Amino acid sequence: MFSYIKSQSQISNEDGIELKKISDALFIENEKLIVHYDKPLGTGVCSAVYRGFLSGLAPLAKLSSLVETQKFRDCEVAVKHALHFGDHEVEQLFREIEAMRILEYDRNVISMLGWRMINDKPAIVFELAQEDLLRYIKMQRLKDKKEIQFKTIISILWQIAQGMEFISSKNIVHRDLAARNVLLTNDFQAKISDFGLAVINNTGIKETTLIKKFPVRWLSIEAIVEKLFSEKSDVWAFGVLMFEVFSLGQDPYAGIETRQILGFLRSGERMSRPELATNEMYEMMCRCWEENLETRPKFEELVAKLHDVLEGESGYSKYYEELELLQNQEGSGPSNVNNSEALEVLDDNSL
């Protein structure tokens, strides 16, 4: 696999040596991984994810000196199996391995435990989570609004902000932060996943090799116009993720065509307050959507503010009272519609 990655990716000899060292150390032997193809967890355009079982200690745990990684032994796992192995899959695999090497472990980032080749295509092994955040919040539509646990929602958002603060501290820009790319465990531990579009310092990948499909509806103005990505563009995406959560999975900019989004944003317009968001939460979203990236908060600030809300036990009873008041003033909230493609071509001619 390494030879194929090196031939397809524009990396220096020094970076290539480091990549080979890490990829070799993360290799999982055939007999240690069982893939349950009868237990699919999800299927996409480029890959399918299956439940599996890893015997022995995971390669990540062998590489890491952290105590937290030692739990990855004789455990159920998620196996992401590439359906194709072209340039896009090579680049994504390179980025995921490199991101894992830099991040190592954080409780709010999904852990890549190792990899192997299956039928001449790469399979990446991750720790197992229960479901993705988008599916979870859509399921909340079936409940009465007063049955939705505000504290759980704020806890999930706080954990995501913590994970993103950790990621940005490692000089990594995720570029695809969205509810669909946050996984939840049984005890509602949030884990950020999918680093296939991540920008990682000193990877040696030239920008000319980047694919042109991006999650346009989650992008900041400067990302759309200037292709400028930073922690602050991830903060913008976090604001969109908050919108997804408080609208119970409504599609961002529902009813607006992709080519109209930039004009909508540049005119000063922003998405309206979703039905389950209090004024405090909506104000936080709007701060994430400041056109001037310098005035947007950093993840460190968002973590602190969400923690304050989480600690304010007395606020939960008032939460429902405020929502009821807001809804009486404004009428019914937006419809829950989600039918757009997440990744769209970022083309100057179409925006």
Q: Which amino acid is at 236?
A: W
At position 143, the amino acid (one-letter code) is: K
Burial 262-288 (b: 16+ CB within 10 A, else e): beebeeeebbebbbbbbeebbebbebb
Question: Could you tell me if 26 and 2 are in contact, meaning their C-beta atoms sit under 8 angstroms apart?
Answer: no
SS3 115: strand
Q: Which of 106, 176, 234, 251 is catalytic?
A: 176
**Is 176 a known active-site residue?**
yes
- CA gap 173, 57 in Å, rounded: 30
Q: Is the Cβ–Cβ distance between 110 and 133 less than 8 Å?
A: no
- For residue 301, CA distances in Å to 169, 288, 293, 316 come to 13, 11, 14, 22
24, 2 in Cβ contact below 8 A? yes
C-beta of residue 198 within 8 angstroms of C-beta of residue 220: no
Q: In 313-323, which positions are buried (b, 16+ CB within 10 angstroms) versus exposed (e)?
A: eebeeebeeeb
Known catalytic residues? 176
